[in-house]
Structure 1
Amino acid sequence: MNEQESTREPRLRRRALLAATAAIGAGAMIEGPLAGTASAAAFGYSDDGTNYVIDTGASLVFKVSHVNGDLTSLVYKGTEYQGFDGKNSHVESGLGASTVTISQSGTTILVKVVHGTLIHYYAARSGENNVYLWTNKADTSVSATRYIVRVKPGLFPNTDPDAWDSATDTVIEAADVFVKPDGTTRSKHYSGLRVMDYDYIGWSTGSVGLWMVRSNHEKASGGPFYRSLLRHRNDGGGGLYEILYYGENQTEAQRFGLQGPYVIAFTDGGAPASALYARNIDTSWADALGLTGWTGASGRGRVAGVGISGRDSAYPYTVGLANADAQFWGTADAGTGYFSIPKVLPGTYTLTVFKGELGVYTGSVTVTAGATTVLNTIAVVNDPATASAIWRIGDWNGTPAGFKNASLMTYAHPSDVRASAWTGDFTVGSSSAGSFPAYIWKDVNNGLAVYFKLTAAQAAAAHVLRIGISTNYINGRPQVTVNGWTSSVPSPPTEPSTRTLTVGSYRGNNVTFTYSVPASAWLTDTSQYNVLRIYVASGSSGTAYLSPGVSVDAIDLLA
């Protein structure tokens, strides 16, 4: 498409209206997800002197500032939804002075925002109540990569775990975690979802729905299990996010390039059309828009695996592809392990098979445009659960699932009234994994004890103790004692440097610590309990739930 900058004259508006009217008169179809029933004669754009005003020809009119590229208005069925505290919707916290142009190609209007090396796009399609967005970030000149839709207060209820009321709730951590009068906690971090768990996020009144439909995150960082804030709402307004790279809980370096489309979608209260979901969306209409960095379907390939052997049927398996430029993933069939990952950018990728969220196989695969790379059956050989153990607490799956408070911690603070006490010594043979705390902090429940007995033969030999963690906080890592024996302090693993355990995320870089416990450490009286104590070691300091801590995956003593 030869993009033409708007001359901001009324004749462009009239030309767009005439073109749309002629198309309808000729029997042209209004195509695309959620095509509206309203007359497309209104489809077009104008300039109010400060903003480009885009009428989708359905029930949505939105404005984009031609000074800085902010989304300054979202009017759906006559109601303004955009804005709170005088703030607009925009990339990051607003780009500032930018070069903004607008053009129309058939039934698509495209706004292009250029700010230094960053390019952002808005698109409208005739007859749809959607705004399509792309962001192309080329370097670190913009620190994070997110888009936030700021929504006026009072339009949707404040009843979710990521919603709070500043008039009644009290800040208990930083400026973003609140406790309500009933002792439950709320935060913008508490959406409780991994990237692969959701297609969209938003709100509904029953008669109006406002949604952010996420992109495929191919240029994001963190993989399919990444957790980040998705939305927030309080008495002052709300926000919907598409976050591709954020400073919190980040496990990878950021990736650069064009990401999208992600979609702001309005509905009559229901979920957005499934045709908008990243795994379903047909973006062939965008091929002719001239988006910088765009790769259409013909320039992509597919990876397909015949199967995965050595799986544990109790767990889902995910196959991830990652390199410095992109990431993709797919779910393996529960019965055969077959997987297919479509729409992959060409390149060579590290392929990881995840049991739950724990990597149990790593290989390499090369993807070619227009072709399918077929892989023979992959044999899982690195599952720690296959090792013979004298005893094991929890399951090796890369998460604290099954431990005390684990399920609550993706949408609540550890101090939440709904959390059970973080204490909980464990006796092998009589205690359940659900009685052992999911998290251990230096200043909260340090020195948790595991009691166990050994046979004479077992006590006569050295054994390897393993403790797996899914993440830590401020360099926390487990140091152990067994009866009178003390382990050395392990080196700190590479984990996110920000808050983790208190902001709804146990996701980090899974690490297994091993301790060679000598035979001399065991009690010789087989009727007595040996006592393992787990401490959190760190050179960093903090208090309570912001003291050094770890999230536990599994603990076992090998035979």
Structure 2
Amino acid sequence: MSHRINRRGLLKAGGAVLGAGALAGSFAAEASAATISYTNDGTNYVVNTGANLVFKVNHSNGDLVSFVYRGVEYQGYNGKNSQVEVGLGASTVTIASTSATVTIKVVHGTLVHYYVARAGENNVYMWTYRDANSVTMQRYIVRLKPGALTFSGGDAWDSATVTTVEAADIFKATDGTTHAKHYSNLRTIDYDYVGATNSAKTVGIWLVRSNHELSSGGPFYRSLLRSGSTGSPDLYEIPRYAEAQTEDPRWGLNGPYVLSFTDGGAPASALYARTFNTSWADSLGLQGWVGTSGRGRVTGVGIAGRDTTSTYTVGFANTTAQYWATADSSTGYFSSTNMLPGSYTMTIHKGELPVWTGTATVTAGGTTVLNTVTITADPNTAAAIWRIGTWNGTPSGFKNASLMTYAHPSDVRAAAWTGNFIVGTSTDSGFPCYQWSDVNNGLLIYFKLTAAQAATAHTLRIGITASYISGRPQVSVNSWTSAIPAAPPTSKTRNLTVGTYREFNTTLTYAVPATAWQTDPTQWNILKLNIVSGSTGTGYLSPGVSFDCLDLLA
């Protein structure tokens, strides 16, 4: 069977779909003489987009078994296909077409996956619907032919020459640098797409992410984005990744996310989730689809009480969806669009640190306008005798912090994890961003107090952004030792070794009595930090923490 839709039919029947503004940039030229078609070869549905892309979907299991761009096959390695998770298995697969689109629907129990092609485009649009009873859908994996594209960075490595460092998925190259699919060095808020080009930069294959409204973890979450292994290169769309996860799953329709092919350039910006016009998908009959008319918007007049040197992100979350918007650096104005109706917890983050929490309600077709919000919970505004770091919810500025999102702590580029600190002399960059019980316990901070300061008790605050296997600091000051703090919240998975410092921002406070201090102002007080836990581990998998800030309040 063969179905072909030519340009005349496209214009006659597809005006509502391909109206003004629906195609932009390179799309318009490709669609000008497009003929979209599909056939059934007995095993697969074969879709020709009428541009330079032909792809095949197996009609028994819904795998994407082939994608040929400009006559070259780029799909697969080791006999593996591109697929939901590691393959759904036996599924009901159907195909339908309009004058402008071909839609393949894959049904596996209550999980439904869609592939959609549009006439004249070198893109495969995908959506995945799942509920609590569905087969787990952790990710969609695009498997690429080895050697076809060139990868570089922390998430790229030569699989023939590396040795394993940790858990069979973190590797060390011969030059001592470390690599893993964990080390893409990007938070969700930081990227629109992942992928690579060939060495000549004449072909690019990209996976443009969805808006992640049904994902978990918020704007600062770090997940797997791609694997640049020479033997098994992959691209990922992951609605929920369990490692270092801070939220429960969300259910419903995730997408669109787009497998996009170019002649070496980046994918068209019209595909980016933050700019994508999806009105053309309203007629596709996607399960769980909510079009623009069924969504609303929240805007804020401004944010007062900001630290103008910091970036502020406004997050919205409930059990159904999550969204975020970056506040204007001058006024604090923010706007979050295309939100599902409902009541949301609204959180303002300074950097990644929550400094204000409230609520916002979204109505379909409506705009909720919020008056200026004043921040009153920034811990950085408290007067301190000394402070190491900045309260911003990240270990930025500390030793090795900038390396840890794309390398393992054992990487040859990492400075020594030691780093005793002398207040008034040392700089933040000399204090380690992480501490583990089996690596660098016993970090020391030296400081002096005036006679007046030493005559009274003070509060010591230690902010942490993540705890591994319930690690937390127990402190001693001179001969005084604190109680062991309660275990901070944790995801109970790897975090500090897989490119993320973020789990639950926690501030630990220690009431240090006046009797703990040196009474002579010329003498150094010595603060010792030891990581303690009821759990055990070795090396970089021993109990540990990521530091946000440490200070002694006045």
TM range, normalised to the smaller chain? over 0.9
Q: 1:405 and 2:396 equivalent? A: no
Separation (CA, whole Å) in 2 of partners of 1:407 and 1:240? 24
Q: 1:79 and 2:72 equivalent? A: yes
Indicate which of 74, 89, 97 corresponds to 1:104: 97
Q: 1:23 and 2:9 equivalent? A: yes
Q: C-alpha deviations, 1:403-449, integer Å up to 9, x for none?
A: 00000000001011111000000000000000000000000000100
Normalising by structure 2, what TM-score? 0.96
Q: 1:131 and 2:124 equivalent? A: yes
Superposition deviation, residue 483 in structure 1: 0.7
5 Å-filtered alignment, 1:369-448, equals: 369-448=364-443
8 A Cα contact 2:139 2:238, kept in partner: yes
Superposition deviation, residue 25 in structure 1: 8.0
The percentage of aligned residue pairs carrying the same residue is 63
Superposition deviation, residue 491 in structure 1: 1.3
Q: What SS does structure 2 have at the residue aligned with 1:465?
A: strand
The one-letter code of the counterpart of 1:165 is D
Map of 1:506 onto structure 2: 501
Map of 1:185 onto structure 2: 178
The one-letter code of the counterpart of 1:52 is Y
The one-letter code of the counterpart of 2:535 is S
Q: 1:289 and 2:284 equivalent? A: yes
Separation (CA, whole Å) in 2 of partners of 1:140 and 1:537? 39
Q: C-alpha deviations, 1:246-289, integer Å up to 9, x for none?
A: 12111100100001100000000000000000000000000011
Given the superposition, is the C-alpha separation of residues 370 and 179 from structure 1 closer, same or farther in structure 2, using an over 3 Å criterion?
A: same
Superposition deviation, residue 20 in structure 1: 2.1
Superposition deviation, residue 478 in structure 1: 1.1
Q: What SS does structure 1 have at the residue aligned with 2:349?
A: strand
5 Å-filtered alignment, 1:105-504, equals: 105-139=98-132, 141-205=134-198, 206-504=201-499
8 A Cα contact 2:300 2:333, kept in partner: yes
Separation (CA, whole Å) in 1 of partners of 2:122 and 2:238? 22
Superposition deviation, residue 111 in structure 1: 0.7
Q: What SS does structure 1 have at the residue aligned with 2:30?
A: coil
Given the superposition, is the C-alpha separation of residues 360 and 38 from structure 1 closer, same or farther in structure 2, using an over 3 Å criterion?
A: closer
8 A Cα contact 2:397 2:429, kept in partner: yes
- Higher mean displacement: 35-44 or 341-350: 35-44
Separation (CA, whole Å) in 2 of partners of 1:212 and 1:223? 20
Superposition deviation, residue 92 in structure 1: 1.1
8 A Cα contact 1:144 1:247, kept in partner: no
8 A Cα contact 1:249 1:498, kept in partner: yes
Q: C-alpha deviations, 1:110-164, integer Å up to 9, x for none?
A: 1111111111111000000000000111115433421110001011124321011
Map of 2:23 onto structure 1: 32
Map of 1:3 onto structure 2: none
Q: What SS does structure 2 have at the residue aligned with 1:545?
A: helix
Superposition deviation, residue 166 in structure 1: 2.1
Map of 1:44 onto structure 2: 37
The one-letter code of the counterpart of 1:421 is A
Superposition deviation, residue 183 in structure 1: 0.6
Map of 1:67 onto structure 2: 60
Given the superposition, is the C-alpha separation of residues 25 and 407 from structure 1 closer, same or farther in structure 2, using an over 3 Å criterion?
A: closer
Q: 1:522 and 2:517 equivalent? A: yes
Normalising by structure 1, what TM-score? 0.95
8 A Cα contact 1:137 1:145, kept in partner: no
Separation (CA, whole Å) in 2 of partners of 1:308 and 1:444? 42
Given the superposition, is the C-alpha separation of residues 25 and 333 from structure 1 closer, same or farther in structure 2, using an over 3 Å criterion?
A: closer
Separation (CA, whole Å) in 2 of partners of 1:291 and 1:41? 24
5+ residue gaps, structure 2: none
Separation (CA, whole Å) in 1 of partners of 2:212 and 2:156? 25
Q: What SS does structure 2 have at the residue aligned with 1:417?
A: coil
Given the superposition, is the C-alpha separation of residues 79 and 109 from structure 1 closer, same or farther in structure 2, using an over 3 Å criterion?
A: same
Given the superposition, is the C-alpha separation of residues 378 and 297 from structure 1 closer, same or farther in structure 2, using an over 3 Å criterion?
A: same
Structure 1 residue runs of 4 or more that deviate by more than 6 Å after TM superposition = 25-30
